[in-house]
Structure 1
Amino acid sequence: MSSDSLTPALRETRALFAKAGIPLTTTEVAADLDLGRRSTYERLERLVERGELETKKVGSSARVWWRNPPDRDDTEDATVARRSSSPTDDTAFEVDTGAELLQLALEAADIGIWELDLETEASPTRSPHHDRIFGYDEPLEEWGIERFLEHVHRDDRERVARSLDEAFETGEWALRCRIIRRDGERRWIETHGGFAFEDDEPVRAVGTVRDITERTERERALEETRRQYRTLVEHFPNGAVALVDEACRYLSFGGTLEGNTSVPRTELEGKPIYDVLPPAVAEVVGPHYEAALEGDSATFEATIDDRSYRFHFVPVRDDDGEVFAAMGMSQDVTEQKEREALLRSAKSQLEALNSLHEVVSDITDAVIEQSSREEIEEIVCQRLADSESYTSAWIGDVDVRRQVVTIRAGAGVEDRVDETTITVDPSGRGRHDPEGRALREGETRVLQNAGSDSGLAGECGFEAAAAIPIAHGGTHYGVLCVYTDRPNAFTDDERAVIGQLGEVVGHAIAAIERQRALLSDEVRELEFQINDFFAPVAESPDVAGTITHERAVPAGDGVFLEYGTVTGAALEAMEAAVASDAVPHWQSVQILRTDGETRQFELTLVDPPMFSTITGYGGYIEAARIEDGDYYMRVHLPPSADVRHVVESIREAYPGVELVSQRQVDRGRAAEGIGGVVFDLLTDRQRTSLEVAYYAGYFAWPRDSTGEEVADSLGVAAPTFHQHLRTAQRRLIRVVFDDADAA
């Protein structure tokens, strides 16, 4: 291709190679062009594609570029004349030129080469730079493995010798180690090589050696930077921090990826951002990472999947000021912006309602400073009751079993509320009272000009009442009821402002509950019962036998694998339920092991409403069994879970379900043991592979399930399953031995 067709930028780059045959490194070209390494690399690649330059990789990561000498006259007469006049000279010229080019390339990349005769253990062929790496200004007369090992640092010598021995089996080696130069200086080297064989016996070794001290120091500095970034990530609120290299590959990632798509950190690190990020995320962050690699910083806000994020991108430079990486930070500010919008709206309304403004503002400030839900509820009720506008206030939630409201906190109500039953049953007495309606309907309800027959407000002698549901993020925490002696209270403006208290208090409680769920050992325990579970498929509702639930493992895409045991006629009832679609989400069942009358099974469930609802609230099934046809289940939920919603969701799937009991219990942390530590180290896929393998009997002897059968249950290829399982096992064993060493 003619150089006339090149763009001005490419002609400028090509002009640096005016002297044919002289190689240049990417760094040298970038310095001459005063351009970033990434842009320089892209220009050089385009020149190679057009046949203007040649390139060669040297060492593990370096690359040199050069322009070949101009083509000789390739006409037939010129060729014949040249060959007839001096054929040996022409060949010598080509050999000498090639050797010079290779030597120049090796010198430019600081690479030494050597050859070792395995019969004589001598190294007759070495480049001058080889010996200089070891501190010799002039090449030594003799060099062999023994002399090389003498230079290897004593702490690395055994490992290096073992690697060389192993190379006789594999045919090649690649290793890093420390050496002590002739002058006593300690350096890092990297060596690669392989063996030449004759009659399947190695007779000669050829290799390269390169001083990587500076690179190792940079890598250590980068690793220290990564450690610091990781520490930052662990304390970074509600966002993500990432490093990318010059090729826009993730070096490290921590936190939560933007948008609705969850990608594990292990699937991001080491991969180009455009290959692993969802398109909606990549099109936002990609250009800014590229700009940061060119030295530009940026701070902006963007919306991804209806969430608002604040982004910061900065270049990361080495000691010489060269950009070698880019750092990006993001923070989900959706709730912050929503709160800001809420506060702006509240402020405009509160300005017209000075008295109420002082009360709401005071409460908002106060709840933020509290450390428990009880403190928040007490201070809200107390501040409202102490204000000039209101007389009494209380907060309650629902006793699901009795369908009545229980009082959690109150001020100014004395014993009047405790002596009154407030129902949430739409068919019961007081069904039109604002307190019950607010809980049932999830909306603020107001009662004005209350008479003696106007429910609780009238019975207690109040003139008006407002019931505000306390909720945040779809979770309901109860109802705030406020009473006053003003007959016409809670007009539209006042109602709008006081209604915001439900969200303010709900948000504060949600924050407390999230923290409590992480730190507290307390859970909410629910017990359910379904009588005659197999009635639709069994001849008799009393099915002799027991089905015991042991574990349900999420396998992805709405699929759960349930493991347990079954005895007696319960197996036939289970198989009949699967075959008849009587339980729609029961897809298939297989027996893994038979031990007398007890059989261990694997039941495949697709979109099971109970599991989906319970796990969606961060809960789990503590125990479950079907005994003589009746289903018993015990569920543990975080204290902040919406119990009523959980019960209603289960009842939609199983109309005959009965909530037998509800209580707060201590789950204790002792049982977590090593499992809690290991599961924190595993990805979801690794944990799923490990759990399914265990419960499917893969580790039993003889095995109840093969690797292929387990992989088929998970819907993945066998090599993929084995890869996840091996990684999980390795991390488990590492924790065991680390604990043993620590002990």
Structure 2
Amino acid sequence: MGTRHELAASALEDLPITVALIDENGEILLTNRSWREFGPADGPTDHVGVDYLANATTAEDEHARRAVEGIEAVLAGDRDAFSMEYPCHSPDQQRWFLMRVTQFSHEGRRLASLVHLEITDRKLAEIAAEENERRIREERKTVEHVLERVDGLVTEITDAAVGAETRAALERDVCTRLTDTEPYVLAWTGRVDVTRRRLSPREWDSRDDVPLEDDELVLESDESHPAVRAFVDHEPQVIDDIDAFDDADRWWPVGAGERFQSVAALPLAYGDVTYGVLVVFADETDAFDERESLVLESLAGTVATAMNALEARRMLTSEAVVSIEVAVEDPSLFVTSLSERVDATISYRGLTYDADETPQLLLYADREIDQEAVLAPDADVRDLSVLSKNDGGTLLEVTAGDGPVTALNEHGAVVQELSVSDGVADLAVEFPDSRSARSAYDLLERRYDRVELISYHEQEEPSQRPHDVSARLESSLTDRQLLALRKAYHANYFEWPRDISGEELADSMDISRSTFHQHLRTAQRKVLEELFD
């Protein structure tokens, strides 16, 4: 084993940090392998005899000046130790080091050890942490600003929704309040003409007279427009950079790109009813990030809820009803497939409900049909049976599932007429309001291949509506009495000659003939009481 000095020298030589010993004048007395390998290839191999302080003093930077002052203070005995961190970057790499200077004595001489420890990994982690903290601070400021702005906007939109007397006033107020909020520069609401299949701006507002796109949009051919896509797909649509949008020149005026940088279009939907769209333009790109989009979706929901409330209020005070006529061409429609299967024109007679509230349709085929011919059920049919045959025709009873008649009935519709021939179903329906009509029409379009709107118009109803009388009657009749009355009426039992007998109707209700007539007479008496009392 060597001497203690040899062991110390060997340990110093193999340390994975750069170490040098200097005397009181700053001259290098000893270096280890790491120190020698760190230096340039064409420089001194061990740097022994080099004046470290003189070399450091020639370097014209703040870090060298601080290092020299610290080392001189240690060698002068003014301090026992000194340390500092400094960068030592190369053209292709960033590096940082920690220099530590420690005083010690040997044979009466004041010496110092210089240790340079690379701390690049730690420094990069600190820089990343500082950058992350800076980003978090900026995001917090942004969120606080957005929340402050959004809170005011939500409050204003809610106030507008609550205080509006008409839908037009609501839409104008919403557009104005949106354009009073940066970075929005233009806002408009659009409504759809279901007859002409057009979407048009109805109310709008802008900052600094920003122009409004004034062309009608055709739902079938203008599908690239975000407003059309929002209405048809029932989903918000966002264009982050209008300049990069292929159809920008087609939809927005030349030069509008100076003010229009991004756009969001949102459907104004309440439940399954879409009242229109809300379109908002901003004067900066990427204005509608996820957070902003969620806020606008919430605002659109608030506006649609207010529209629904206004519609309900108008419905309660108005005596208008909406009538539409549509043609549906789709072989999956059960009345269409039935017409083709039995080679007959099928017409609708009426709708009844059994004791379990299961809907039952009465249909009439213009030729005699055997039960075997109608056994094959459709997806929308649970059961189909022949009630009676007369005058070359057949009365059918259908226990319906989720078919068009029952679905329309759930929207408050009254089916006035339904007939099917040559693969086309002609349907005339009456609704209590335009909201229900729009909802039902959208339902038909979603379900069937081809739906064509033939007519749409509103008309006044008498002060006492038929469904008001019907509601009172339904409350006074038992389920069996109501079912017997409805079946007898829709099956033309009260016609002469009768299309069906009491025995056939009783069989369809799975009751005796005498019980059927008892239910029917009681129901007739209550109808007459409503009429004459």
| TM-score interval (norm. to shorter) | 0.5 to 0.7
Residue 508 of structure 2 corresponds to which residue in structure 1?
A: 713
Residue 526 of structure 2 corresponds to which residue in structure 1?
A: 731
**Distance in structure 1 (CA, Å) of the matches to 2:144 and 2:410:** 37
Asked if the contact 1:391/1:484 (under 8 Å) is kept, the reply is yes
Asked if the contact 1:350/1:356 (under 8 Å) is kept, the reply is no
Q: 2:152 aligns with which of 349, 358, 372?
A: 358
Asked if the contact 1:589/1:604 (under 8 Å) is kept, the reply is yes
**Distance in structure 2 (CA, Å) of the matches to 1:525 and 1:415:** 36
Mark the CA change 1:482 to 1:548 in structure 2 (over 3 Å): closer, same or farther: same
Give the drift of 1:451.
1.0
Mark the CA change 1:417 to 1:381 in structure 2 (over 3 Å): closer, same or farther: same
Q: 2:347 aligns with which of 548, 554, 562?
A: 548
Residue 483 of structure 1 corresponds to which residue in structure 2?
A: 281
Give the drift of 1:506.
1.5
Mark the CA change 1:418 to 1:650 in structure 2 (over 3 Å): closer, same or farther: closer
Q: 1:528 aligns with which of 327, 345, 363?
A: 327
Q: 2:415 aligns with which of 597, 600, 621?
A: 621
How large is the RMSD of aligned CA atoms in angstroms?
Answer: 4.1
SS in structure 2 opposite 1:368? helix
Give the drift of 1:577.
6.1
Residue 611 in structure 1 maps to residue 405 in structure 2:
yes
**Distance in structure 2 (CA, Å) of the matches to 1:387 and 1:441:** 28
Residue 691 of structure 1 corresponds to which residue in structure 2?
A: 486
Q: 2:307 aligns with which of 509, 512, 516?
A: 509
Q: Kindly provide the amino acid, as one letter, of the partner of residue 468 in structure 2.
A: G
**Distance in structure 1 (CA, Å) of the matches to 2:461 and 2:144:** 46
Asked if the contact 1:443/1:468 (under 8 Å) is kept, the reply is yes
Residue 588 of structure 1 corresponds to which residue in structure 2?
A: 384
Give the drift of 1:714.
4.1
Residue 452 of structure 2 corresponds to which residue in structure 1?
A: 659
Kindly indicate whether structure 1 or structure 2 has the higher relative contact order, using CA contacts under 8 Å at least 6 residues apart.
2
Point out where structure 1 has 5 or more consecutive residues left out of the alignment: 1-348, 739-743
Residue 102 of structure 1 corresponds to which residue in structure 2?
A: none
C-alpha distance after superposition, 1:477-526 (max 9, x if no partner): 22211112133423333322222111111111222223334443131514
Asked if the contact 1:530/1:631 (under 8 Å) is kept, the reply is yes
Asked if the contact 1:470/1:505 (under 8 Å) is kept, the reply is yes
Asked if the contact 2:185/2:282 (under 8 Å) is kept, the reply is yes
* Greater radius of gyration (CA): 2
Residue 295 of structure 2 corresponds to which residue in structure 1?
A: 497
Q: Kindly provide the amino acid, as one letter, of the partner of residue 590 in structure 1.
A: V
Q: Kindly provide the amino acid, as one letter, of the partner of residue 549 in structure 1.
A: Y
Asked if the contact 2:336/2:420 (under 8 Å) is kept, the reply is no
Q: Kindly provide the amino acid, as one letter, of the partner of residue 511 in structure 1.
A: A
Q: Kindly provide the amino acid, as one letter, of the partner of residue 663 in structure 1.
A: Y
SS in structure 1 opposite 2:285? coil
Give the drift of 1:373.
2.8
Residue 371 in structure 1 maps to residue 170 in structure 2:
no
Mark the CA change 1:401 to 1:522 in structure 2 (over 3 Å): closer, same or farther: closer
Residue 395 of structure 1 corresponds to which residue in structure 2?
A: 189
Q: 1:679 aligns with which of 471, 494, 498?
A: 471
Residue 465 of structure 1 corresponds to which residue in structure 2?
A: 263
Give the drift of 1:362.
1.6
**Distance in structure 2 (CA, Å) of the matches to 1:566 and 1:407:** 47
Mark the CA change 1:371 to 1:354 in structure 2 (over 3 Å): closer, same or farther: same
Give the drift of 1:623.
1.4
Mark the CA change 1:697 to 1:429 in structure 2 (over 3 Å): closer, same or farther: closer
**Distance in structure 1 (CA, Å) of the matches to 2:340 and 2:498:** 36
SS in structure 1 opposite 2:184? coil
Asked if the contact 1:590/1:602 (under 8 Å) is kept, the reply is yes
**Distance in structure 2 (CA, Å) of the matches to 1:376 and 1:661:** 31
Asked if the contact 1:549/1:624 (under 8 Å) is kept, the reply is yes
**Distance in structure 2 (CA, Å) of the matches to 1:718 and 1:592:** 15
Residue 375 of structure 2 corresponds to which residue in structure 1?
A: 579
Mark the CA change 1:350 to 1:718 in structure 2 (over 3 Å): closer, same or farther: farther
Mark the CA change 1:365 to 1:677 in structure 2 (over 3 Å): closer, same or farther: same
Asked if the contact 1:360/1:498 (under 8 Å) is kept, the reply is no
Mark the CA change 1:630 to 1:435 in structure 2 (over 3 Å): closer, same or farther: closer
Written as runs of structure 1 = structure 2, the 5 A alignment for 1:40-119 is: none
Residue 242 of structure 2 corresponds to which residue in structure 1?
A: 450
Give the drift of 1:636.
2.9
**Distance in structure 2 (CA, Å) of the matches to 1:728 and 1:414:** 66
Written as runs of structure 1 = structure 2, the 5 A alignment for 1:253-332 is: none
SS in structure 2 opposite 1:587? strand
Residue 128 of structure 2 corresponds to which residue in structure 1?
A: none
Point out where structure 2 has 5 or more consecutive residues left out of the alignment: 1-142
**Distance in structure 2 (CA, Å) of the matches to 1:450 and 1:583:** 46
**Distance in structure 2 (CA, Å) of the matches to 1:387 and 1:651:** 37
Residue 64 of structure 2 corresponds to which residue in structure 1?
A: none
C-alpha distance after superposition, 1:403-425 (max 9, x if no partner): 653334333388742226364x5
Instruction: Give TM-score scaled by structure 1 length.
Output: 0.43
Mark the CA change 1:699 to 1:644 in structure 2 (over 3 Å): closer, same or farther: closer
Asked if the contact 1:678/1:732 (under 8 Å) is kept, the reply is no
SS in structure 2 opposite 1:362? helix
Residue 382 of structure 1 corresponds to which residue in structure 2?
A: 176
**Distance in structure 2 (CA, Å) of the matches to 1:350 and 1:718:** 77
SS in structure 2 opposite 1:419? coil
C-alpha distance after superposition, 1:686-728 (max 9, x if no partner): 5443222222344456765455543443466778766764554
Written as runs of structure 1 = structure 2, the 5 A alignment for 1:54-203 is: none
Give the drift of 1:465.
1.4
Asked if the contact 1:471/1:477 (under 8 Å) is kept, the reply is yes
SS in structure 2 opposite 1:353? helix
C-alpha distance after superposition, 1:152-177 (max 9, x if no partner): xxxxxxxxxxxxxxxxxxxxxxxxxx
Aligned length: 376
Mark the CA change 1:721 to 1:537 in structure 2 (over 3 Å): closer, same or farther: closer
Asked if the contact 1:477/1:642 (under 8 Å) is kept, the reply is no
Give the drift of 1:351.
8.0
Asked if the contact 1:537/1:577 (under 8 Å) is kept, the reply is no
Residue 668 in structure 1 maps to residue 446 in structure 2:
no
Mark the CA change 1:463 to 1:475 in structure 2 (over 3 Å): closer, same or farther: same
Asked if the contact 2:269/2:276 (under 8 Å) is kept, the reply is yes
**Distance in structure 1 (CA, Å) of the matches to 2:336 and 2:499:** 32
Give the drift of 1:355.
3.1
Give the drift of 1:634.
1.9
Mark the CA change 1:715 to 1:387 in structure 2 (over 3 Å): closer, same or farther: farther
Q: Kindly provide the amino acid, as one letter, of the partner of residue 459 in structure 2.
A: D
Q: Kindly provide the amino acid, as one letter, of the partner of residue 587 in structure 1.
A: D
In percent, how many aligned pairs have the same letter?
Answer: 27
C-alpha distance after superposition, 1:289-326 (max 9, x if no partner): xxxxxxxxxxxxxxxxxxxxxxxxxxxxxxxxxxxxxx
Mark the CA change 1:535 to 1:501 in structure 2 (over 3 Å): closer, same or farther: closer
Written as runs of structure 1 = structure 2, the 5 A alignment for 1:214-253 is: none
